[in-house]
Every structure is written in structure tokens, then in C-alpha cells.
Amino acid sequence: MAHVTGPSFFAEAMARADGFEKGLADHGAPMVPELRYEGTYLSPSGIEAVGWLLDRHGSNLPSAIFFSNYFMALGGFAALHDRGLKVPDDIAVAVFGDHPQMEYVRPRLTRVGVAPSVLAARASHMLIDRLEERFSGPSRSEIIPCRLHAMETA
């Protein structure tokens, strides 16, 4: 499986990449480093990642490509189409991010994540707790469980 990560200077991107790759390894499919591409979280890097993958591994494509966010997935999805590849027949595609916009992409993208509205609601509650002095401790973070939406692309 190819993996298009976010930029390495973002701690969140590396945590997401580590979690994805640990999940693969835990299920007997360790990440092949030659199939990892560092993206920027922007759509053009999804296009660039697909170009890189096809130029470097075109004669031996992996069975799937996982994009670490939906912007890169949209660019990559377009690039796969433009290069004549059929999703999921030629290569499966999955993405991290459960954004409402994904409902308008066809075929529907397989995705894992948390809806932005859930994240925003939790962050808002944490901020209000601090502003109203119900919490005055050090900075905190939470892990919010993700949901898998197995759709048509994988």
C-alpha cells in the first residue's frame, strides 16, 4: 500500500502517519518505505504523489493508496483518472478525513476519520471550560475515536 503523508514538520501529520503505519504492521502488512510519499496536505501534492507513484512504480503498482487528508485525495483521485486508471479496479483509494464534501465524489471514497463538526464541538467545549474557569490546568488534548466508512473505492 502506498501512503501519502502530510508534511513532516507538522507533529499531527507524523502522529497520523505513525498511527496508520502501526495499524498496517499490527495487521501483518508493514509499510514499505519506498511506497511512502511526503505530501503538503494540499491538492497539488496529491497530483504529484500519483505522478511519483506511477513514474517510480508504474510497472508494479501497489494494490492501494492511502492519502492522509482529503485535499490530497481529491488531487490524487483526479490524477488517477487523468492517467487512465480506474478506481478501485486498477488501484484502491482510501483517505483520512470524514468531511461532508466527500459525499459528492464518485465513486464514493473509502475514508476513516471524525467529522469536523465533532472536532469543533469538542474543541469549543474545552475552550469554554477554560474561559469559564471550570478547567485551569495545563494544555490538554484528547483522542477522539475515528470511524471507518468502507465505500466504493477500496
Tens digits of residue pLDDT in 45-77:
999 999 999 999 988 999 999 999 999 999 999
Which domain range does residue 103 map to? Answer: 2-115
Note the pLDDT of residue 115. Answer: 86
Q: In sequence order, what are the residues at sequence separation of 6 or more whose Cβ sits closer than 8 angstroms to the Cβ of residue 91?
A: 61, 62, 63, 64, 65, 80, 85
Q: In sequence order, what are the residues at sequence separation of 6 or more whose Cβ sits closer than 8 angstroms to the Cβ of residue 72?
A: 4, 39, 40, 41, 42, 43, 45, 46, 49, 95
Tens digits of residue pLDDT in 12-49:
899 989 999 999 999 999 999 999 999 999 999 999 99
Residue 76 belongs to a domain:
yes
Residue 132 belongs to a domain:
no
Q: pTM here?
A: 0.88
Note the pLDDT of residue 141. Answer: 83
Phi–psi pair at 91, nearest 5 degrees: -160, 135
The pairing of strands 92-96 and 36-38 is: unpaired
Q: What is the CATH number of the domain that holds 31?
A: 3.40.50.2300
Please tell me the total count of domains within the chain.
Answer: 1
